[in-house]
Amino acid sequence: MSAQPELELQAERTSLSKEALKRSFLDNLFYIQGKFPALATRVDYYMALAYTVRDRMLQRWISTAAAYTAKGSRTVAYLSAEFLMGPHLGNNLLSLGIHDEVRQAIGELGLNFDELLAQEDEPGLGNGGLGRLAACYLDSLATLEIPALGYGIRYEFGIFQQEIAEGWQVERTDKWLRYGNPWEIARPEWVQQVKFGGRTEHSLDEHGRRSVRWLPGRIVNGVPYDTPILGYGNNTANTLRLWRAEAPEAFDVSTFNRGDYYGAVQQKITSENLSKILYPNDEQIQGKELRLEQQYFFVACSLQDMLRILKVQGIPLENFHRKFAVQLNDTHPAIAVAELMRLLVDEHGLRWSDAWSITRQTFAYTNHTLLPEALEQWPLALFGRVLPRHLEIVLEINARFLDEARLKFLGDEARIARLSLINEHGERYVRMANLACVGCHAINGVAELHSELLKQDVLRDFHALWPEKFSNKTNGITPRRWLMLANPRLSRLITSWIGPGWTRDLAQLRGLERVVDDPDFCSSWRDVKHSNKVAFARYVQQELGMTLDPHSMFDVLVKRIHEYKRQHLSILHVVALYLRLKDGRDADPVPRTFIYGGKAAPGYRMAKLMIKLINAVSSMINRDPATRERLRVVFVPNFSVRTGQRIYPCADLSEQVSTAGKEASGTGNMKFTLNGALTIGTLDGANIEIRAEVGAENFFLFGLSAAEVAALKAQGYSPAEVCRTQPQLQEVIDLIASGFFARGDSELFRPLLDSLLTHDPYLVLADFAAYADCQRVVAGAYADRDRWTRMSILNVARSGKFSADRAVREYLDDIWGAAPVPVRLISQDDIAGKLLQ
Ligand code: F58
């Protein structure tokens, strides 16, 4: 039997030729969207295009699945409560290498390609750095051809959309799924059940062995939704598997049968709430039951899914840790340690010691914070209510672990109390970082300083116990999205001078050092930055009705709003500049545009007040004719992956001004550097390594070091005293306190000023003078156009280390031990051949 005619049709469906792309696009408009041009909306066109691209991804996805299944290859499972993927369409076009063809094809159909790209609702399933890091690592894993699965939650509502009203942040729900999501495929056939609450029953089985049954109070189904993650320039398409909570049918019906219809409905709603919404806090979430349920939900689904895969591939349970390297992205999935023990011991009858050995060899844990208040703890009572069996397991792990620790730290009960998985001070808590440390074989920080501080401070007792578990893995970012896609002008320029090798081997950017003195190259470099600034100014004009001068220096601070990140340090300095301009005192030689962006956690009052302050300063200063030619301030609403892609390429100066010892790494700092911005920054997180790479002479350093911060605090720090000795700073504070930026309301910013003047926990005032001095040096450097260009080129040339490819390779070599599995494309004939055999 021959299937030839169908096969030809199939090939047409995945052809990359422009004509085929156009035909598919129109086909999809008719057959998927059910529209013809006169009625089609821009969203219809976007969808038609998305499905056109998806068809072309599926052959790789299927081929990849086939290659991995055939090989039974070692697989990285990246467990993360957040994946901040950003818009898919542009990135997928880039990975497929058809960006330009598709742009042309769409243009020839009389449509505007950029307008279609803009229709995509970006999946904002993360808060900030941590979620975005997970997305960058998936990109690199696929590009390096490593078998990998990202496991997380398919939140129905992602991070809120930020609007600014009267200068205040207003949150709007993120309805990213409202028109459907063309990039995912639901796999209801791989549904998993997750138990919650209830109680446990202990008994002896027929062999006299203890066995435990968990009788849950309720069960929730997890349905996986898979999204393909393409490698760049290869045939790999890995999977991001996100779980959606659903009420199990059978459970509803049983309640229904008992006549409790409303109860059944209620139960359905409660179950489905689990994956409704992402918690929008970027550092701390205290004791929210639903949050713990979310964590357990996706972890339980993911581990059971791994067991399913093991079974399909005929791999014995004892080899779990050989098949899977499971990375815990912070402690949000740390309950996995107890859950894997439960699955192995309770459900598969392994001995505790064997299960423990498998568990420890399976997991590795990445810490992302140095803020002590951000370390997750769950009230023991709540933990036991939601996960009664896991509490027993945690207590058992703890008892055995502390016995072992006591042998090492004879008589040091204070240390034992710090190591314990249970915090016994006052109300009892389960400490998730301790659970992660005990249940894994590798622990890492995300920048050198951070990893050192973990060893000395946050996790020092674990380091004393198991120094060999600790390592550093400095974060990285994907150059595909953050340079090629975000900054096509710079990418083209770089490629035209050093070739395209840098896209997969970022260290090759070093080649730019050879041409740093070429006047043509330097002038093109400047032109690119200028064009990016013009494009951004146009965007701001359109969106905010504000005019920016692309000849001014673009000084940018975008990231989550937090006191430790010190947006207020920067804005105080803007006010100082304003005062200097007004008085005609030594004005800066260059006009500046300060660009801010970032979301505040909805419940974080101080952060919201910081946004209000930035906007208040912006609206007063921008309208002052005496200064508006030299100083402008803009707050770009709704900072996201998409807006980031516009902002990083247009920056001249990147502000990385956190209090030293507080920012674990930062990754925005890397995005700016890669796009040719120079950094003004403290010795914090990865700034230190950026400075070491690009050279101290190409980096604007200021402020106290982490050690100095600690010393100053120990010695007793008085912010009011700092103010008294610095008249310029006092003037700034006085102007804000006067109500000048608040239509005369002298109360509005009082909480912020009071905090600075009485505690100043993040040493804003202590670092102010150094920051202002350093900004003066920056202005001088910018005034020397050629010198600045040279510094900008050298920053990019030396930023290769910050590729996520490098970071992922380090994880592979030191922790995951997985190897590339190149994928051979299976043709339609192969598949049809199998079917028709
Ligand atoms: C960030 N953490 C760090 N947490 O602050 C940043 O320095 C680092 O570069 C980045 O991780 C990647 O390593 C971070 O983004 C969160 O957003 C959590 C979300 C869930 C609640 C707790 C904070």
Return the residue whose CA atom lies nearest to atom 2 of ligand 1.
130
pTM: 0.97
Q: Report the atom number in ligand 1 closest to the C-alpha of 376.
A: 22
Amino acid at 391: L
Gap from CA of 665 to ligand 1 centroid (Å): 9
Residue 256 banded pLDDT, cuts 50, 70, 90: low
- Torsion region of 471: left, alpha or beta (phi above 0 gives left; psi -120 to 50 gives alpha): beta
Tokens read off for 376: 């997750």
Whether the pLDDT of residue 696 is over 80: the answer is: yes
Residue from 82, 84, 369 whose mutation best tests the ligand 1 pocket (most atoms within 8 A of CB): 369
Give the Å distances, CA to CA, from 251 to 261, 341, 757.
Answer: 12, 27, 58
738: helix, strand or coil: coil
pLDDT for residue 14: 83
Q: Is 129 a pocket residue for ligand 1 (Cβ < 6 Å)? A: yes
Q: Any idea which residues carry the catalytic annotation?
A: 368, 559-560, 565, 667, 671
Residue 205 banded pLDDT, cuts 50, 70, 90: confident
Q: Is 665 a pocket residue for ligand 1 (Cβ < 6 Å)? A: yes
Are 356 and 300 contacting, i.e. CB atoms less than 8 angstroms apart?
A: no
Gap from CA of 126 to ligand 1 centroid (Å): 10
Q: Is 130 a pocket residue for ligand 1 (Cβ < 6 Å)? A: yes
pLDDT tens column, 323-364: 999 999 999 999 999 999 999 999 999 999 999 999 999 999
Gap from CA of 436 to ligand 1 centroid (Å): 17
Q: Is 767 a pocket residue for ligand 1 (Cβ < 6 Å)? A: no
Return the residue whose CA atom lies nearest to atom 22 of ligand 1.
283
Q: Is 664 a pocket residue for ligand 1 (Cβ < 6 Å)? A: yes
Report DSSP state, residue 160.
P
Gap from CA of 672 to ligand 1 centroid (Å): 18
Q: Report the atom number in ligand 1 closest to the C-alpha of 686.
A: 9
Q: Report the atom number in ligand 1 closest to the C-alpha of 366.
A: 13
Q: Is 127 a pocket residue for ligand 1 (Cβ < 6 Å)? A: yes
579: helix, strand or coil: helix
Count of positions (residues) in the chain: 837
The CA dihedral of 529, 532, 537, 543, to the nearest 10 degrees, is -150
Q: Is 133 a pocket residue for ligand 1 (Cβ < 6 Å)? A: yes
Return the residue whose CA atom lies nearest to atom 17 of ligand 1.
282
Mean pLDDT of 228-243: 98
Whether the pLDDT of residue 194 is over 70: the answer is: yes
pLDDT tens column, 756-804: 999 999 999 999 999 999 999 999 999 999 999 999 999 999 999 999 9
Gap from CA of 374 to ligand 1 centroid (Å): 10
- CA separation for the pair 77, 365 (Å, rounded): 12
Mean pLDDT of 71-79: 95
Gap from CA of 560 to ligand 1 centroid (Å): 10
Q: Is 689 a pocket residue for ligand 1 (Cβ < 6 Å)? A: no
pLDDT tens column, 269-282: 888 999 999 999 86
Q: Is 666 a pocket residue for ligand 1 (Cβ < 6 Å)? A: yes
Gap from CA of 759 to ligand 1 centroid (Å): 25
Q: Is 685 a pocket residue for ligand 1 (Cβ < 6 Å)? A: yes
Q: Is 705 a pocket residue for ligand 1 (Cβ < 6 Å)? A: no
Residue from 78, 80, 282 whose mutation best tests the ligand 1 pocket (most atoms within 8 A of CB): 282
Cβ-in-10-Å burial (0-12, 13-18, 19+) of 372 comes to exposed
Mean pLDDT of 682-690: 98
pLDDT tens column, 482-526: 999 999 999 999 999 999 999 999 999 999 999 999 999 999 999
pLDDT tens column, 805-828: 999 999 999 999 999 999 999 887
Report DSSP state, residue 469.
G
Mean pLDDT of 683-704: 98
Mean pLDDT of 28-36: 96
pLDDT for residue 10: 58
Q: Is 475 a pocket residue for ligand 1 (Cβ < 6 Å)? A: yes
Residue 1 banded pLDDT, cuts 50, 70, 90: very low
Whether the pLDDT of residue 17 is over 70: the answer is: yes
Mean pLDDT of 697-725: 97
Of 66-70, 687-691, 697-701, 798-802, give the lowest mean pLDDT range.
66-70
pLDDT tens column, 406-459: 999 999 999 999 999 999 999 999 999 999 999 999 999 999 999 999 999 999
- CA separation for the pair 717, 760 (Å, rounded): 9
Residue 2 banded pLDDT, cuts 50, 70, 90: very low
Q: Does 652 or 1 have the greater pLDDT score?
A: 652
Residue from 80, 82, 83, 130 whose mutation best tests the ligand 1 pocket (most atoms within 8 A of CB): 130
Whether the pLDDT of residue 3 is over 60: the answer is: no
Gap from CA of 661 to ligand 1 centroid (Å): 14
Whether the pLDDT of residue 50 is over 90: the answer is: yes
- CA separation for the pair 644, 93 (Å, rounded): 19
Q: Is 283 a pocket residue for ligand 1 (Cβ < 6 Å)? A: yes
Whether the pLDDT of residue 254 is over 70: the answer is: no
Whether the pLDDT of residue 7 is over 60: the answer is: no
- CA separation for the pair 488, 538 (Å, rounded): 17
**Listed residue (595, 558, 782) closest to 672, CA to CA:** 558
Return the residue whose CA atom lies nearest to atom 14 of ligand 1.
130
